[in-house]
Copies of this chain bind each other. A is one copy, B any other.
Amino acid sequence: MDSINRLLGPDVGALLRDRRYDQLRSALMELEPADVADLIAGLEDEQSAVTFRLLPRDLAADVFSYFDAEQQEDLIARVGTERLAVLINEMDPDDRTQLLEEVPAEVANRLMALLTPAERSITQTILNYPEESVGRLMTPDYVRVRRNQTIAQAMGHIRRYGRDAETINVIYVVDEHGRLIDDLKIRQFLLADPEGTVESLMDESFVALQVDDDREEAVRQIERYDRVALPVLDRRGVLVGIVTADDVADVAEEEATEDIQKMGGMEALDAPYLESGFASMVRKRAGWLSVLFVGQMLTATAMGLFEGAIERAVVLALFLPLIISSGGNAGSQATSLVIRAMAVGEVELRDWWAVLSRELAAGLSLGILLGGIGLLRVILWPGRVEAYGEHYVLLGLTLAVSTLGVVTFGTFAGSMLPFVLRRVGLDPAAASAPFVATLVDVTGVVIYFTAAAMLLRGTIL
């Protein structure tokens, strides 16, 4: 649809200049809200406000939902109060909640004041749920019917209230207290005898989310049961909203982005990369980077213990980066595998032993492979005697043994650290590649020089 934008883009400028507003308005109404949002975002400030004002109210609310937080704030400042009140009341409750979370508190309060009592009450209820909970993600726009209604009555109800619902693929049956007792597909209604009752369609089996579940739970359940929507219940079993698959796809993507950023060794950004503020981005990176830098200073301390050995055999220093970083690389693989397997629910805390035994075996195999490569590198090197001295075979063995040790330790640390973090209630994704590498570097220095002391004593040491 990008091509549509490019084709229509210049026209908007011309239509605005000639004040052919009716024509512009009809052109915009033929587009998808997401595309209209893109188009308006590409205009200059004054033009964008004028164009936005042309939109009919329901389209305006949809388009507004597609703007990013900055553009929304900008338009809130430019649009008159009356128009703003219409807009904010027309928005879908889940989109509105997201807006109120993202704008500064004083703007949020101003917007809340513009809501009708009914919409304000819906919004306040949603905002009362914990951040990142299913409650914040749900929308109260669904259709519910009673078991003793006839199909014809229920269809009448669906026709009346289905207009504003986010999906009418699924119709919910509730009891007199509003508790969910079944979920029925719209096709069941379409295919049923109009004189029959809703009850005749029911099997009283359904899958539901709890309102205070973590929103990642919604991702897992929607994927598990392949649904386009899931109902959300409060603790008494009362139906309070639905979560739709398209919102869940957004959440899954956001959660993966957060994990990837954490795994890269930083705090997760709140906004898309190019849109997040420079200072806040640097702060989110500086924190972990400083901690790791200070932690990495332990390598200098550890190496200080072996200064005598380095003085006697400078050749040892040459291979140090190679040895320790192979441990960091092996650890990075292990931690990435385990963190992701945990995030998608393939691995639970209780699987630690299965993971540990698998990773120790993998670490040993990989260590033998790399150690072998290292050994061959030294003993087959053309200028080996000049470069490494007459004891080059022993040096090669030192390299091989310490690579094996460091790679095995790296794999061990990388695979177990996410378990430790989760066990103590922290986010396993904080076991980033840089964190594991730093941990393994310090240990690697000790492993390497200890192996050297044992194998090279009496020759070059």
In the assembled complex, the Cα of A2 lies from the Cα of B438 at a distance in Å of 39
Choose, from A79-87, A103-111, A126-134, A340-348, the stretch at the interface: A340-348
State the number of copies, please: 2
Q: Are B228 and A325 in contact (CB under 8 A)?
A: no
Answer whether residue A424 sits at the interface, using C-beta atoms and an 8 A cutoff. Answer: no
Choose, from A9-17, A40-48, A186-194, A231-239, the stretch at the interface: A186-194
In the assembled complex, the Cα of A249 lies from the Cα of B252 at a distance in Å of 7
Q: Are A203 and B30 in contact (CB under 8 A)?
A: yes
Which B-chain residue is minimally distant from A304 (CB atoms)? B318
Answer whether residue A354 sits at the interface, using C-beta atoms and an 8 A cutoff. Answer: yes
Answer whether residue A259 sits at the interface, using C-beta atoms and an 8 A cutoff. Answer: yes
* Chain A residues engaging chain B, CB cutoff 8 angstroms: 1, 30-32, 34, 155, 158-159, 162-163, 165, 167-169, 186-187, 190-191, 203-205, 207, 219, 222-229, 244-250, 252-253, 256-257, 259-261, 263-266, 269, 272-275, 278, 281-282, 285-286, 288-290, 292-294, 296-297, 299-300, 303-304, 307, 310-311, 314-315, 317-322, 324-326, 328-330, 332-333, 335-341, 344, 346-347, 351, 354-355, 358, 361-362, 365-366, 369-370, 373-374, 377, 387, 407, 432-434, 437-438, 441, 445
Question: Which residues on B sit within 8 Å (CB–CB) of A370?
Answer: 289-290, 293
Which B-chain residue is minimally distant from A258 (CB atoms)? B340
Question: Which residues on B sit within 8 Å (CB–CB) of A278?
Answer: 358, 361-362
Q: Can you pick out 26 interface pairs between chain A and chain B where the beta carbons lie within 8 Å of each other?
A: A159-B190, A162-B190, A169-B186, A219-B253, A226-B247, A227-B246, A228-B245, A228-B246, A245-B248, A248-B249, A260-B260, A263-B336, A265-B329, A272-B346, A273-B338, A274-B351, A275-B346, A289-B369, A304-B318, A310-B314, A310-B317, A311-B314, A325-B325, A325-B437, A325-B438, A433-B437
